[in-house]
Structure formats: structure tokens, C-alpha cells
């Protein structure tokens, strides 16, 4: 049976509205606590959050539900999603919970749950928790207030761990950090300074409502401008919960997740740490990445979109590195989830070790023109029930003659259909992407 609350990245929605209304969040706490009693009955749950104004209320409601099921909580306050995952698996916790909607605007929020091993819950366990939530909802009466939860757990060990992953200091590198007014706002500047870099920081003054607002990993225009103005060696932009990173090279070039994966994969391969000379990415990664990796003797496997699916394939194939074009990267020797700050450290480490600028390291990847069009939809239907769309997809694939790709899918976290077309030239890509998008609007908008 399909899940009704959990998507590809936890539960997400508008704060205060179902499924993030007080009753449902409290019921989730009770259901999660009941589930954890079967796995680790005497251990607390660690809760962290990003900088959204709705975070404290959701955290308090969740803690109230956990308390009703007899589970104690510890609160880390503002911390990154990968920070919660690392602190959970290295500490004495039964689970970790992150309150965040990642790159979404401040009105949205979400709940991501990690098992005591630092991995996201399996689908079957999420389904069981969902069923318990719906059973509990008619009786739940939440009372928690945001101020009832006080930070009582230090996240400093997480920064010390990140520093320990470096084989060389970043001494002499000039770096601009765009913290997206999110979870990295206090952590990232301290981390990169302690790593030896000269740091300039922008968008690190969160007010509860400015998270991801024209800044961060999805909006790198200001970061590019600051890198060019200051002559920095690199710029790094984080999203709201800092589980992803986008980089800017000294010449202003965007180094996205694909280019970063190429740099990291080559470095790991040279060090003998890229197990099986294999990289796991998604169907969204550019064909240029696949070709550049092949030229270096590295195989690339594709999964559906979502770091959850990337990680599943990494575990199945014992792969050391995986990620997404969007900037999620999983260094499995160090982490169980995407970590933007770790990504930034490892890419800059490659620059130092190879004594090359970031744009030089990224230059090997020749990017095939690619366009992603998002269409807001009122409903989701299987593609085979949209004959006009299916017909256009087939026409596009025939026209590309094996020199490109077309991908149509529904977002797992937003009411969007996404059309991606990749091909030999920009004009061809734009024509087909917009034709397919228009057909979807006609049938579903």
C-alpha cells in the first residue's frame, strides 16, 4: 500500500497545516515512540531543526508525543540534517529527527527521521508509523508550546568530526560561504575557518522567514558576484538544512553536483578509495558526467531521483561515493546521508592536494545542454494515462537519435511535474522540453 504522509524525504508540507498540524505531529511523536520501544526502549531521541520560525513549535509537539509514549528527548537546537544523522549514530540515541523542509521557502517545514544507525527509516517502518498515526489522530489533543523545549545537547563533536576528514588543511584558500540563512549559518563559518581557509560569509543572519530567500544552493547569483568581486578561490552555497552544496569557481562557473562528483570520484579513485571504481547518481545527472567518468575508468550507475534511492544502491553495490546533480553527495566512508559542509571540505581538499584551481578541476566535464521545466499540477496521473504526453516523449526520443535523453517524473516533495530534456544543442532541448511541458499543463494543470 502506498504511503500517505511520508514522501521521498520524510514528511513535508505547509507548517501548521496537515500533515504538519499540531495533532498530526503529536500523533507522529506517539507513534514513533511506540515503534522505538521495540528497538531501543531506554534511549532518548535527538531532535534538531533549521532556522524556520515554525521549527520550535513542531519540535515541541513532537517531543510531547514522544513523552506520552514514554520516550525522552534531547534537543540540539539549530543544526544541519547530516549533523543530526551523525550525532544520532555516534551517540546513545534510539533515533534522530530533523525539523526542516530543506530548500523550500520558510512557510513549509518537514520532519525527517533517522534510525539509530544514522540511516533514514525503511519504507516498511514508515508505513507502520503512518498507520498508527491515523489510528491515534481522533484522540490526540496537543498542548505543547514552542518555548517548552530548550537546547540541551552540544553539536560541537560533529564539527570536530568534519575537520578530522581532511588530509590537508585548507590554508591559504579564500572562500565565500552562502549559508542560505539556514542551519549552516553559525556552523559553516566556524568550520571552514578552523580548517584553515580565509572566509567571507553572506546570508548568515536568519530571522525565521528568510531561509533560502534569494540565496543558498538554489540561488547562487549573489555568491557568484561576491566570488568575482573578492577574487576568491571558491564559493560554497548551502540549502536550508545544509545537506547539499553548490560551488562557484574563481571564474564564476557553477560547479554543480555533477561536476563535484567528478572531482571527488577522480580523487577517491587516485587514492584507491573508490570501491569498484563506481559512482552512483540519478537519472538527472548530465550525460557529460557519465562520459567524463568513463574516460577515467569509472563506472556510473543511475537511480530514480532522491538521495534515499542513491544510498540504497550504494549499499547494495558497496559504493563509496554517490550523489545528485542538485548538490547532494554521500561520502559513505564518512556519512550516511548527503552533507553540504563535508562536500565543500572534500572538494576544496582536492584543490589543495592537486594544486589546481576549482575551475581547472571541473573543466574535464563537458556539459550537454539540459533543461528542466517544472509544471505545477493539480493532480498526479500515471504517464500511460496521458496519451498526448507519451506521444511527445516518443517523438523527442526519436528526434534525439541516441544523442540525448528525456525524463518526465512527478516530484516526491512538491505538487510538480518535472520535464528534463538533454541533447546536442540548446535549441533542440528547449523546443522539446516546452512542447512536453505544455502538454502536461493541458492535461493536469
Catalytic residues: 102
φ and ψ at residue 217, rounded to 5 degrees? -60, -25
Count of helix runs (H) and strand runs (E) in the chain: 14, 17
Distance CA 335, CA 329 (A): 10
Residue 81, C-alpha cell as written in the block: 540534517
Residue found by looking up cell 570536530 in the block: 160
Distance CA 281, CA 284 (A): 8
φ and ψ at residue 81, rounded to 5 degrees? -60, -50
Q: Is the dihedral of CA 356, 360, 362, 365 positive or negative?
A: negative
- The whole-angstrom distance between residue 99's C-alpha and the CA centroid of its chain comes to 13
Distance CA 122, CA 365 (A): 35
Give the alpha-carbon dihedral of 115, 118, 121, 122, to 10 degrees. -120
Residue 304, C-alpha cell as written in the block: 530514480
Amino acid at each position: 500500500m502506498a504511503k500517505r504522509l511520508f514522501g521521498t524525504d520524510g514528511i513535508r508540507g505547509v507548517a501548521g497545516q496537515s500533515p504538519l498540524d499540531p495533532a498530526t505531529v503529536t500523533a507522529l511523536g506517539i507513534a514513533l515512540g511506540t515503534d522505538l520501544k521495540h528497538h531501543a526502549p531506554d534511549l532518548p531521541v535527538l531532535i534538531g531543526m533549521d532556522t524556520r520560525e515554525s521549527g520550535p513549535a513542531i519540535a515541541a509537539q513532537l517531543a510531547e508525543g514522544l513523552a506520552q509514549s514514554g520516550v525522552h528527548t534531547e534537543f540540539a537546537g539549530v543544526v544541519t540534517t547530516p549533523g543530526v544523522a551523525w550525532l544520532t549514530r555516534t551517540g546513545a540515541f534510539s533515533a534522530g529527527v530533523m525539523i526542516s523542509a530543506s530548500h523550500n521557502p520558510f512557510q513549509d517545514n518537514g520532519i525527517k527521521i533517522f534510525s539509530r544507525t544514522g540511516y533514514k527509516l525503511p519504507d516498511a517502518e514508515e508505513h507502520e508509523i503512518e498507520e498508527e498515526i491515523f489510528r491515534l489522530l481522533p484522540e490526540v489533543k496537543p498542548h505543547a508550546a514552542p518555548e517548552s523545549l530548550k537546547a540541551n545537547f552540544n553539536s560541537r563533536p560533529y564539527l570536530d568530526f568534519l575537520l578530522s576528514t581532511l588530509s590537508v588543511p585548507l590554508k591559504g584558500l579564500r572562500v565565500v560561504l552562502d549559508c542560505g540563512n539556514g542551519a549552516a549559518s553559525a556552523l559553516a563559518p566556524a568550520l571552514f575557518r578552523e580548517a584553515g581557509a580565509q572566509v567571507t560569509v553572506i546570508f548568515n543572519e536568519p530571522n525565521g522567514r528568510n531561509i533560502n530567500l534569494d540565496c543558498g544552493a538554489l540561488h547562487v547569483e549573489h555568491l557568484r558576484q561576491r566570488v568575482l568581486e573578492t577574487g576568491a578561490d571558491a564559493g560554497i552555497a548551502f540549502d536550508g538544512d545544509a545537506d547539499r552544496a553548490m560551488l562557484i569557481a574563481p571564474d564564476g562557473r557553477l560547479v554543480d553536483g555533477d561536476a563535484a562528483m567528478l572531482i571527488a570520484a577522480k580523487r577517491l579513485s587516485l587514492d584507491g578509495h573508490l570501491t569498484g571504481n563506481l559512482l552512483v547518481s540519478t537519472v538527472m545527472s548530465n550525460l557529460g558526467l557519465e562520459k567524463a567518468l568513463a574516460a577515467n575508468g569509472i563506472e556510473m550507475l543511475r537511480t530514480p531521483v532522491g538521495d534515499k534511492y542513491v544510498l540504497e544502491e550504494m549499499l547494495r553495490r558497496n559504493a563509496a561515493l554517490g550523489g545528485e546533480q542538485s548538490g547532494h553527495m554521500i561520502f559513505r566512508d564518512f556519512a550516511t546521508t548527503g552533507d553540504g559542509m563535508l562536500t565543500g571540505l572534500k572538494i576544496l581538499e582536492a584543490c589543495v592536494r592537486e594544486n589546481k584551481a576549482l575551475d581547472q578541476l571541473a573543466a574535464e566535464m563537458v556539459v550537454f545542454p539540459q533543461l528542466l521545466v517544472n509544471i505545477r499540477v493539480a493532480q498526479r496521473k500515471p504517464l500511460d494515462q496521458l496519451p498526448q504526453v507519451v506521444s511527445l516523449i516518443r517523438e523527442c526520443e526519436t528526434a534525439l537519435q541516441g544523442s540525448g535523453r528525456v525524463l518526465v517524473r512527478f516530484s516526491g516533495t512538491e505538487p510538480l511535474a518535472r520535464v528534463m530534456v538533454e541533447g546536442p544543442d540548446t535549441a533542440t532541448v528547449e523546443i522539446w522540453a516546452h512542447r512536453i511541458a505544455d502538454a502536461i499543463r493541458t492535461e493536469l494543470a
